[in-house]
Amino acid sequence: MHIAFQNIQKSFGKNHVLKDISFSIKEGEICALLGENGAGKSTLMNILGGIHRPDAGSIYADGKEVRFTAPEQSIKLGISFIHQELNLINDLPIYENMFLERDYTKGFRRVPHQEMIQETKAIFERMQVDLDPRTLVKDLDSSYKQIIEICRAITMHASVIIMDEPTTSLTDSEIERVFSMMRHLRDQQVSIIFISHKLKEVIEVCDTYTVLRDGNLVSQGQVSDVTTKELARFMVGYDVRTDQLIQQRERGKEILRADKLTDAAAFSNVSFSVHQGEVVGFTGLLGDGRSELFQSIFGAHDISSGKLFLYGKEIHIHTTMDAIKHGIAYLPRNRKENAIIKDMDILENSAIASWKRHAKWGVIQHSIHKEKLEVFQKQLKIRMTNASNNILNLSGGNQQKIVLAKWLSTDPRILILDNPTQGVDVGAKEDMYDIILRLADKGVGIIILSSEANEILRLCNRTYVMYHGRLQGELKAEDMNEQAIMELATGGDAFI
């Protein structure tokens, strides 16, 4: 299907989000839709998906003007939207999630579970996905949840698929599987709109690009004619640095030390240390156990054996409140399920971790938290109109910044960042990196859990590489490169 946007405009109150946007996506084309968080990408796609209505302008499908007043109309036309925040029901099995938006009962007929299971199996075999359709979604990690969303779009015979940050939490092999799916769909004349901040992926898989900045269309063309550096400049309006950010500073005293931490299900015999002013990386492949390790250190799960020391003194952490009291902060990987509180506003989400810290006679001091949020808004360049708005009104990247502000408000000694730049654009990444380095300069111990080798190489003074729940090796900055990291991450010879 050929899709054309003509002079699309959209405002929310005084916030003019889209300003006269016109461009098109050809049938059987993969088009990258790029821009910083808040540039208008999601709003434009929500208009195409029938979630919002434009204030002005038109959408054409195969030359015929279409107007959507509900998502069902967009779906019926063959447009499928895979949102950045996945729309799956955790308490249902995979096969039932695959058919959430389809009437499969045919009148008064009972739900044909076996037919749904068999059809799901057929799709999985076609896409080379090794999953049991009867598995509950809550038992899957985020990477497989993303793959289920893509497979669900395929079952709905979509002719246009919108993919909003589909590879954020996927490993390299899973990303290649997604790209293989995309190319296969393109060969079948399916049009794909690919929203991503990973510009290398854009170059690899997309045919064309369109860049939005502050609600304006600033550039479009063939991907083969541009570089990642040029795309980044179009997005932010200036050249984005790509240099190594590691700073040589005198290492301070040891803050945190782990001695043979073990949890039989996820990690075993893990020992490491973090000093004042250090940025320490933990990386590996999917299932390496690093997230489970630091969730346990933060008190979210029990540790079977081993010891934990803070400034040389053994500590015992049984709850997340224990961790916070000891000055440990943890920004989790899954923002939607573990970081934001959807029923709270922006100010409340930014302050909840430090309510008790600033309370007076048990009363929350909103004025103090508002002042802190204003400071973080400037430092992190958070795009927001009113702190009393619901957190879901923000783009995914700005939500991530609010979560970071929440933990910075606790003045942590140790800051654990699990996939910190997930869903964050290239400009905002640099802002977050600056904050991380400034905190390290102040003596905070920073721990970064990331699968992005470039992020590890640019930021970390030392990096621990994990493999199947064990530390496979430690690399100092001068020894780090992608090959060395991958060798350890795949079980190669250890350096420690």
Q: What tens digit of pLDDT does each residue of 474-492 get?
A: 999 888 888 888 888 888 7
Which of 488-496's residues contact partners 24+ apart within 8 Å by CB, and which partners? Answer: 488/284, 489/283, 489/284, 489/285, 489/288, 489/465, 490/285, 491/467, 496/471
> 173 versus 75: which is more confidently predicted?
75
Give the residue-averaged pLDDT of 335-340: 74
Give the residue-averaged pLDDT of 338-357: 84
State the pLDDT confidence band at 247, using cuts at 50, 70 and 90. low
State the pLDDT confidence band at 393, using cuts at 50, 70 and 90. confident
Per-residue model confidence as pLDDT tens digits over 114-137? 989 999 999 888 777 889 999 999
State the pLDDT confidence band at 88, using cuts at 50, 70 and 90. confident
Domain boundaries, the chain: 3-236, 254-489
H-helix or E-strand containing 146? helix 142-155
Residue 249 clears pLDDT 80, i.e. is over it? no
Fold agreement (3-236, 254-489)? yes
* Spatial contact of 171 and 451, defined as CB atoms under 8 Å apart: yes
Give the residue-averaged pLDDT of 233-245: 74
Give the residue-averaged pLDDT of 391-418: 88
Q: Which amino acid is at 126?
A: R
Report the pLDDT value the prediction gives residue 104, as an integer from 0 to 100: 56
Report the pLDDT value the prediction gives residue 169, as an integer from 0 to 100: 65
State the pLDDT confidence band at 274, using cuts at 50, 70 and 90. very high
In eight-state DSSP terms, residue 257 is: E
In eight-state DSSP terms, residue 218 is: E
CA-to-CA distance for 79 and 73, rounded, in angstroms? 9
What mean pLDDT, rounded, does the chain reach? 87
Does domain 3-236 bear CATH number 3.30.70.660?
no
- Least reliable range by pLDDT among 74-78, 282-286, 474-478: 282-286
Residue 278 clears pLDDT 70, i.e. is over it? yes
- Least reliable range by pLDDT among 27-31, 174-178, 355-359: 355-359
State the pLDDT confidence band at 496, using cuts at 50, 70 and 90. very low
State the pLDDT confidence band at 62, using cuts at 50, 70 and 90. very high
In eight-state DSSP terms, residue 177 is: H
- Out of 3.40.462.10, 3.30.470.10, 3.40.50.300, 3.40.640.10, the CATH code matching 254-489 is 3.40.50.300
User: What is the model's pTM?
Assistant: 0.69
H-helix or E-strand containing 481? none
